[in-house]
Amino acid sequence: MAEAKPRVVMTGAAGNVGTTLWQAWEAEGKYELTLSDVQPIDQARSRTEIGDVCDLGFMRTICQNQDVLVHLAFFRGEDSAPDSDRMSDIGMTLALFETARKAGIGRIVFASTNKVNAGGESRGGGAVYTTDRFNPESWYAAMKGMAEIGGRLMVNGGDMRFTAIRIGTYSGETEPDTLRACGYLLSPRDCVQLFGLAVDFEGPERFIVTYGTSGNSWGHHCGPLDIGPAVDTLGYKPQDNMMQFRSRFE
């Protein structure tokens, strides 16, 4: 008898990263997908659930009978501010995490942002900065950092796994359009690989935070974001290096 596929529910599936992931994962046939978003999810073959992830009833619906939550949904700009008249990004995220735990989901893969530490961004050539620091530049970034801490609490409190991927820049393109993007861009195929490794990971580490870029380096210099945890722990082997395009912008 064939082994059952992991059941993966994805929020924000109509977005840029989400569309890249589900299209590749449907083609691979590795997972039993449930795709959710407030917007229509065009041309998907998988089960889709259209609704507002801020709605607790909708959260409960999408989390039932799932193994893994891939949480990509987020609020932009003023919708993330503490004085907004709707649920904040961190309120939604932590409520979703707890709903997932109560529903029996054992693994969360969370799309975070490099801006959790953007206030301490290194400007030196080849320098990297650690995932252990929090120096956000906005409420949105601060809430992403709070969600990572929430993930740590969930791991400490039970038999769960949590991986946060602090995405550098994701455009869905295979080449950078600025000098900065040469160090920060995550290509589509590297995005699919990295998130897939996080979904599949069965090693001893249950809490992982890593930056998410392609293998952006030149000479003896690494890019500005440390993808070491992805490489060393998850087994990430990026296929693209955006630094090869650096000369276009200098």
Q: Which fold has domain 7-249?
A: Rossmann fold (3.40.50)
- Identify whether the C-beta of residue 234 lies closer than 8 Å to the C-beta of residue 190: no
Q: 104: which 2 tokens?
A: 């029996």
- Identify whether the C-beta of residue 194 lies closer than 8 Å to the C-beta of residue 186: yes
> Region 51-80: what's the mean pLDDT?
89
Q: 233: which 2 tokens?
A: 């722990």
Residue 77: how many CB atoms within 10 A of its CB? 10
pLDDT confidence of residue 81 = 53
pLDDT confidence of residue 2 = 63
Measure the CA–CA gap between 178 and 176, rounded to whole angstroms: 6
Q: Where are the domains of the chain?
A: 7-249
pLDDT confidence of residue 154 = 95
Q: Is 41 left (phi over 0), alpha (psi -120 to 50) or beta?
A: beta
Kindly tell me if the per-residue pLDDT of 250 is higher than 70.
yes
Kindly tell me if the per-residue pLDDT of 1 is higher than 80.
no
- Identify whether the C-beta of residue 137 lies closer than 8 Å to the C-beta of residue 108: no
Q: Is 232 left (phi over 0), alpha (psi -120 to 50) or beta?
A: alpha
pLDDT top residue among 139 and 37: 37
Measure the CA–CA gap between 164 and 234, rounded to whole angstroms: 12
Band of the pLDDT at 131, cuts 50, 70, 90?
confident
Q: Which stretches of 41-151 are assigned E, i.e. beta strand?
A: 47-50, 68-71, 107-113
Angle at 161 between CA 62 and CA 74, to 5 degrees: 50
Picking from 6-20, 136-150, 154-168, 214-228, which range would have the lowest pLDDT averaged per residue?
A: 214-228
Residue 247: how many CB atoms within 10 A of its CB? 10
In angstroms, the Cα distances linking 228 to 43, 70, 233, 238 are 36, 21, 8, 11
Q: 43: which 2 tokens?
A: 């041309």
The pLDDT tens digits of the residues spanning 70-124 come to 999 997 655 455 555 667 889 999 999 999 999 999 999 999 999 998 755 544 4
**Three-state DSSP class for residue 28:** helix
Percent of the chain with pLDDT over 70: 89
Q: What mean pLDDT value characterizes the chain?
A: 90
The pLDDT tens digits of the residues spanning 160-206 come to 999 999 999 999 999 999 999 999 999 999 999 999 999 999 999 99
What does the DSSP assignment read for 125-181? TT--B-TT----SSHHHHHHHHHHHHHHHHHHTSS-EEEEEEE-B--S-SS-SSHHH
How many Cα atoms sit within 13 Å of 65 on the Cβ side?
A: 7
